[in-house]
Amino acid sequence: MLHQKKILILDYSTSRMEASALKRWMPEDAIVSSLYIDTEESFLDGLIGENFTHVIHSGSELSINEEAPFTQKAVSFIRSARDKGIWQMGICYGHQLVCKALVGKDAVRKAPKGFEAGWVNVNFNEQATKLLGVNENEVVWQHHFDEVVKLPEGSALLATNEHTEIQAYINQEQKLFGTQFHPEFDKESGDAIFLRDQALLESHHYDVEAILQRGPPLDTGKVFFNFFLG
C-alpha cells in the first residue's frame, strides 16, 4: 500500500502498560510495532533504518530529570528520526524526552507547582481549536511531576493551564507533536490508574473520590491520535 503508515511505539513505562493503551488507537490498516524500553540495548541496532512513518514516545513512571540506562540511545534516536523527517509524538515523559533531546537538559525541570494529577482542565488556543477541533477548554488525564519549559526551535504552543505552561505543542518543520497530558486514557482506563495509585495521590492531598467524579467530555484518543497520524 503506497501510503500505508508504519508506526513505532516506544513504551518507556516501568509498568509496561503504555504500548497496549496506545495500540487501541492505531489505524487498522497501519503496520504497528512496539518496543518496551528499559535498557540501552532496548534500542535495537538499525531501528532508525526501519522506515517508520510515525514514532510515539510514551509516558513513564520515570522522572526525566534522572538519567535512565537508555537516555543517550533515546536522544540519539530522536535526533536521527528528526533528521530523517519522521513524525514524532511525545506523551508526558515522552514529550519531555523529545524536548530534552532536541533542546538540552534545560528544556525540562521538576514542576515547581508539584504533582499534577486527575481529570484536569486545559486551555487550547485558537490555533489548537482549528487544528484539533477541540474546544477552548477541555478536561484531560494528567499524572506528572516534571514539565517542559523550552520547546524545539520553530514550535507553536497549543495548550496551557495554571499548573504547566506547556501542555501541548506542534512543530511542523521538525515534525513534532507533544502533549503533557495523556490522550490515550479514556474514563475507564484513566480511573483504573487513579485507583491503583490512590495512596500516592492521597499522599499529595488529592481526593481520589472527587477525581473519579470527573472525566473527559471528548474522546481524546481519537482526537489526538487521528490528528497526529492524519
Q: Indicate which residue of 57, 144, 163, 182 is catalytic.
A: 182
Provide the β-strand partners of residue 137.
Answer: 123
- CA triplet 16, 32, 223: central angle to 5 degrees? 85
C-beta separation of 173 from 87 below 8 A: no
How long, in residues, is the chain? Answer: 230
Q: Indicate which residue of 18, 138, 147, 184 is catalytic.
A: 184
Q: Is 92 a catalytic residue?
A: yes
Q: Is 165 a catalytic residue?
A: no
Q: Is 184 a catalytic residue?
A: yes
Identify the DSSP state of 178.
Answer: E
- The C-alpha atoms of residue 80 and residue 57 are separated, in whole angstroms, by 14
Query: Three cell numbers at 29?
Result: 490498516
Q: Indicate which residue of 18, 54, 57, 92 is catalytic.
A: 92
- The C-alpha atoms of residue 161 and residue 180 are separated, in whole angstroms, by 11
Query: Three cell numbers at 207?
Result: 481526593
- The C-alpha atoms of residue 116 and residue 25 are separated, in whole angstroms, by 25
Catalytic residues: 92, 182, 184
